[in-house]
Amino acid sequence: MQAIQHYGFYFVSFVIALGALVAFHEFGHFWVARRSGVKVLKFSIGFGPKLMGRQVGETEYVVSAIPLGGYVKMLGEDLSDPEVSEEDKTRSFAHAPLLKRIVIVAAGPVFNLLLAYVIFTAWLATGAPLFVPTFADLTSNVETVVPGSAAEAGGVRSGDRIVQIGDKRIATWQEMTDIIKRSPGAPLKIVVERTGRTETLTVTPTPRKEKLADGTEVEVGQMGITKANKAVVRSDNVLMAPIDGLDATWGWIKLTVVGIAKMITREISADNIGGPLTIAKISGDAASQGVSNYLFLIAILSINLGVLNLLPIPILDGGHLLFFAIEAIKRQPLSIRSREVAQQVGLVLLIGLMLFAFRNDIVNLWLK
SS (H, E, C) the chain: CHHHHHHHHHHHHHHHHHHHHHHHHHHHHHHHHHHCCCCEEEEEEEEEEEEEEEEECCEEEEEEEEEEEEEEEECCCCCCCCCCCCCCHHHCCCCCCHHHHHHHHHHHHHHHHHHHHHHHHHHHHCCCCEEECCHHHHCCECCEECCCCHHHHHCCCCCCEEEEECCEECCCHHHHHHHHHCCCCCCEEEEEEECCEEEEEEECCEEEEEECCCCCEEEEEECCEECCCCEEECCCCHHHHHHHHHHHHHHHHHHHHHHHHHHHCCCCCHHHCCCHHHHHHHHHHHHHCCHHHHHHHHHHHHHHHHHHHCCCCCCCHHHHHHHHHHHHHHCCCCCHHHHHHHHHHHHHHHHHHHHHHHHHHHHHHHHC
d(CA 55, CA 228): 54
Nearest to 320 by CA among 133, 16, 15, 71: 71
Virtual torsion, Cα 237, 239, 245, 247, nearest 10 deg: -90
Cβ neighbours around 69 below 10 Å, total: 17
By annotation, the residues acting in catalysis are 26
